Amino acid sequence: MADTKKSTGKASASFSAEEKAAMKERAAEVKAEKLRNSAEADTAVVLEKIAELDGSDRVIAERLHEIITTTAPGLAPKTWYGMPAYARDGKTVVFFQASGKFKTRYATLGFNDPAQLDDGTMWPTAYAIIELTEADEAAIAELIRKAAG
């Protein structure tokens, strides 16, 4: 949650440098998406973003990309706030957030509202990842199948 300050009587949000960079990156993505018109171009951009990641973030993102594109080929690769994401009808269903993005101790696999993960009255929408085992990969593939509908 962002801190608020009241210096002039109006509340203004304070964002970290990483948050500001992510917002600028998202604005640039929206503009670029309007100019690109092919799934191949979007996939190439996602693969470039993955290649830019360091260490375990890159390894995890590469493996997630393979799992997601194999398990749910109907989800279109795209970037979302500078990170790999996968969308249906232009709406982000699942995304990866590298630990290095906001200097956290784990990467995140997250699901947005279009993901069909509903399970009763409460269900998880994000998972912390520090490495992937075969069991993790199988569980992720099942989540992706369910999320993609």
Domain extents in the chain: 15-148
Calculate mean pLDDT across residues 26-43.
76
Q: Is the pLDDT of residue 40 over 70?
A: yes
Measuring CA to CA, which residue among 85, 64, 34, 82 is closest to residue 129? 64
Per CATH, the number for 15-148 is 3.90.1150.200
Calculate mean pLDDT across residues 100-124.
96
Residue type, 115: A
Taking the CB of residue 145, how many other CB atoms lie within 10 A of it?
Answer: 12
Residue type, 66: E
Q: Is the pLDDT of residue 130 over 50?
A: yes
Q: Is the pLDDT of residue 127 over 50?
A: yes
